[in-house]
Structure formats: structure tokens, C-alpha cells
């Protein structure tokens, strides 16, 4: 088992990563100072697949554990689901010493984490992410929240977990596409901060894709370590943390322009990284060889849903609606070299539009 310490000003917490550690959940949590049962927030699918392992561990140590089931899917990351969690907390007479275990993918982490952030002005929660994407992305960083009818993640807070437990064994029940989505985020971490992780992925990508325990644990742990380092320097949304948005500018616009139906988040980010690398090369910062190294790693993960039929004016419009762009200043994370980032401000809108239309037609090829 690997243990990574996330050190924020005033709050330190462990991320445990390992194969089969779900069955030791209660021991780890007891060691982290928990002495009462959590309220487990999860969904039917996750509970059916992995509920017994978690709950029997928790109940052996803490006694009876209450479970709040919420519906599965991004469309339920909303106020009604949040309300359901509050009601479960009230029903079980939760007090300010109570804690939530958010057991599932990113949606569960976000909404259960936001419930924890706002119930009695904040109670503790532990993340037990069950998708590769959640293990490397949303479980570290403390961004929690829900969607509004006006857009995704518009209502939320920063609320750090008290611990995160990532069992790589549970990834075996994921679809290939979900594994790939998580891998793109791992590649993103490597691209912005670690050529050694990049080399590792180049050497061991097949083993990671096959979920070979040592390879997956290493890749997850390195990505978490990189994300934790960045977040430690900038808990909120400053310049430093913005580097985690590498690939997200165009990626997010692609998601919005397709109403979140064509791409998973990771796939959209993968396209976004390709776009950002292309812009970095075009500006003469990244060498063509480096750009191709990143591109070929992304291509080895699997076939991305293509860009066919996407109108550049829709993607452009989506880009401009992005909450990071509202103030009109186009900023983007680019690569001056692999493992390094620069935040470029004031990108010329005409250049961006022209680039986008070229990029989208490239997707047609």
C-alpha cells in the first residue's frame, strides 16, 4: 500500500492507494482517528459490486453503518440529490462529529463532499473513489459541488477530505472506456509536471491498461502526488492550481458543445491536451518531437471519439461561455516543454478561432 500525505495550510490528510485495501477500510480509518461509524453515501451499482467488502469492514469495527443511496449519473448531481443526503443525515441524527464516506465515482464524491461541506457548517468526509478518474482527479483537491440548470459545478465549495482510500482492485469492474478516461488524467499530470511518469507510462502503458496491480498503483500514486503538490501550493483557484487545467480549455468546450454526450470528461481532456500541445508547438515552445511523444501516448490508450460534425462556431461559443473566460481574458495552460507549464494570457481571439476550425477539421481526417 502507498500512502501519500496531502499537506495544505492547516489541514493534512492521507491518501491510501493499494490493491484490495477496501477490506481494510475500517482499520485505516480507525488509525486516522475515526471512532464512530460513517454515513455511507453511494449508489446501487457500486453497492452491489463492492458494498459488502466495505460495509463488513466498517461494521466489524464501528457497528451498524447507515447507507444513503443516491441515483447514479451526472444528471443527478443536483440539488434534489443533495437534499436526499441532508435528509439521511437528519434521519440518522448526525451531529458535528459525524462523518460521511463518499463511496463511488466523481459524482458521488462531489455531491457527498458538498453535503459534508454544508451540513452543520461542515462535517468531515472520507473519499472512497471507485473509478480511475475519481481516484486520480476529483478525490484530491477538495472541489465539491453540484450542477445548476445554468451549467456544471456552478454551486459548490472547497472542502478537503479527511482521508482518501483508493482501492485499485475495484477498477476491475469498470468498462475499458472508463479506464481510458482516468488514464488521460494521469497523462495530463505527467505532461505538466513529470517526465519520469511520462516515461513510465510509455514503458508500462499496457500493464496499466490491463490493471496489473503494481503498475496501476504506481501510476495512480504518482498522479495523486503531482496533484497534491499543486493543490498544496494553491488550495483555491489561483495561478498555480490553474496548471491542472491543462487540456481543459478546449476539452471543456468540446464537452459543452456536445451537451456532454459524445465524450467522457477524460476523452474531452485528451482532445484538449492534443489541442494545447498543438498550440504550444505552433508558438515554437514545445518541439514537434515532444508534441508527438505526448500525442502517441494518448493514441496508445485507445481510440478517441472523433470530432466529426462539430461546428467550430459552436465550440467557439462554448469556449466563451466557460466560467474561466467570462471576463474576456483568454488564458490557457501551454507546455514550454514536457513536464513544464506556462500560463499564456490574452491569446488573440482571431488566432484561437482559426486554430479551432483547423483543429476540428483535422479530426475529420
Q: Which residues bind its own copies (CB under 8 A)?
A: 9-10, 79, 86, 90, 93, 95-97, 117-122, 143, 145, 148, 150, 153-158, 236-237, 323, 326-327
Beta strand ranges found along 196-327 (DSSP E): none
Q: Is 237 a catalytic residue?
A: yes
Q: Is 299 a catalytic residue?
A: no
Residue from 7, 59, 237, 348 carrying the catalytic annotation: 237
Given a contact cutoff of 8 angstroms between Cβ atoms, the answer to whether 174 and 160 are in contact is no
Residue from 19, 43, 245, 285 carrying the catalytic annotation: 245
Q: How far is the CB of 326 from its own copies (least distance, A)?
A: 4
CA atoms within 13 A on the CB side of 136: 29
Q: How far is the CB of 36 from its own copies (least distance, A)?
A: 10
Query: How far is the C-alpha of 276 from the C-alpha of 272, rounded, in Å?
Result: 6
Nearer to its own copies, 95 or 306 (CB): 95
Q: How far is the CB of 155 from its own copies (least distance, A)?
A: 5
Q: How far is the CB of 113 from its own copies (least distance, A)?
A: 11
Residue found under cell 480511475: 132
Query: How far is the C-alpha of 292 from the C-alpha of 111, rounded, in Å?
Result: 38
Strand-strand pairing, 2-8 and 11-18: antiparallel
Nearer to its own copies, 110 or 178 (CB): 110
Q: Is 324 a catalytic residue?
A: no
Residue found under cell 485495501: 21
**Residue 269 neighbours by CB distance under 10 Å:** 29
Of 110, 61, 62, 70, which is closest to residue 89 (Cα–Cα)?
70
Nearer to its own copies, 23 or 320 (CB): 320
Q: Is 79 a catalytic residue?
A: no
Of 264, 260, 350, which is closest to residue 312 (Cα–Cα)?
350
Nearer to its own copies, 118 or 173 (CB): 118
Q: Is 185 a catalytic residue?
A: yes
Q: How far is the CB of 44 from its own copies (least distance, A)?
A: 26
Query: What residues contact residue 107 under an 8 Å CB cut-off, 6+ apart?
Result: 72, 73, 74, 76, 77
Q: Is 11 a catalytic residue?
A: no
Q: Is 218 a catalytic residue?
A: no
Query: How far is the C-alpha of 170 from the C-alpha of 182, rounded, in Å?
Result: 14
Q: Is 188 a catalytic residue?
A: no
Residue from 159, 241, 290, 293 carrying the catalytic annotation: 241
Nearer to its own copies, 79 or 203 (CB): 79
Catalytic positions: 121, 143, 185, 227, 237, 241, 245, 248, 252, 265
Amino acid at each position: 500500500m502507498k500512502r501519500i500525505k496531502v499537506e495544505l495550510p492547516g489541514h493534512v490528510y492521507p491518501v491510501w492507494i493499494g490493491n484490495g485495501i477496501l477490506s481494510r477500510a475500517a482499520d485505516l480509518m480507525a488509525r486516522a482517528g475515526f471512532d464512530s461509524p460513517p454515513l455511507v453515501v453511494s449508489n446501487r451499482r457500486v453497492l452491489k459490486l463492492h458494498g459488502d467488502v466495505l460495509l463488513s469492514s466498517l461494521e466489524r469495527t464501528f457497528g451498524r453503518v447507515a447507507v444513503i443511496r443516491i441515483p447514479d449519473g451526472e444528471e443527478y448531481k443536483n440539488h434534489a440529490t443533495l437534499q436526499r443526503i441532508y435528509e439521511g443525515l437528519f434521519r440518522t441524527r448526525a451531529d458535528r462529529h459525524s462523518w460521511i464516506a463518499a463511496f463511488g465515482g466523481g459524482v458521488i464524491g462531489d455531491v457527498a463532499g458538498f453535503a459534508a461541506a454544508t451540513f452543520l457548517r461542515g462535517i468531515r468526509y472520507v473519499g472512497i473513489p471507485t473509478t480511475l478518474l475519481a481516484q486520480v482527479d476529483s478525490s484530491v483537491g477538495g472541489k465539491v459541488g453540484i450542477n445548476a440548470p445554468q451549467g456544471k459545478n456552478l454551486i459548490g465549495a472547497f472542502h478537503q477530505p479527511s482521508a482518501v482510500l483508493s482501492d485499485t482492485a475495484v477498477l476491475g469492474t469498470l468498462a475499458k472506456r472508463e479506464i481510458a478516461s482516468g488514464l488521460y488524467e494521469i497523462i495530463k499530470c505527467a505532461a505538466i509536471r513529470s517526465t519520469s511518469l511520462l516515461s513510465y507510462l510509455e514503458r508500462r502503458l499496457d500493464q496499466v491498461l490491463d490493471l496489473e496491480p503494481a503498475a496501476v498503483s504506481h501510476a495512480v500514486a504518482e498522479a495523486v502526488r503531482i496533484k497534491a503538490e499543486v493543490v498544496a501550493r494553491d488550495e483555491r483557484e489561483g495561478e498555480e492550481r490553474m496548471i491542472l487545467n491543462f487540456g481543459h480549455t478546449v476539452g471543456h468546450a468540446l464537452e459543452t458543445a456536445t451537451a456532454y454526450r459524445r465524450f467522457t470528461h477524460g476523452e474531452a481532456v485528451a482532445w484538449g491536451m492534443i489541442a494545447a500541445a498543438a498550440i504550444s508547438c505552433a508558438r515554437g515552445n514545445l518541439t514537434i518531437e515532444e508534441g508527438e511523444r505526448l500525442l502517441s501516448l494518448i493514441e496508445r490508450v485507445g481510440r478517441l471519439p472523433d470530432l466529426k460534425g462539430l461546428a467550430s462556431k459552436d465550440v467557439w461559443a462554448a469556449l466563451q461561455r466557460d466560467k474561466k473566460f467570462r471576463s474576456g481574458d483568454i488564458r490557457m495552460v501551454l507546455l514550454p516543454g514536457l513536464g513544464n507549464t506556462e500560463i499564456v494570457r490574452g491569446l488573440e481571439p482571431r488566432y484561437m478561432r482559426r486554430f479551432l476550425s483547423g483543429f476540428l477539421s483535422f479530426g475529420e481526417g
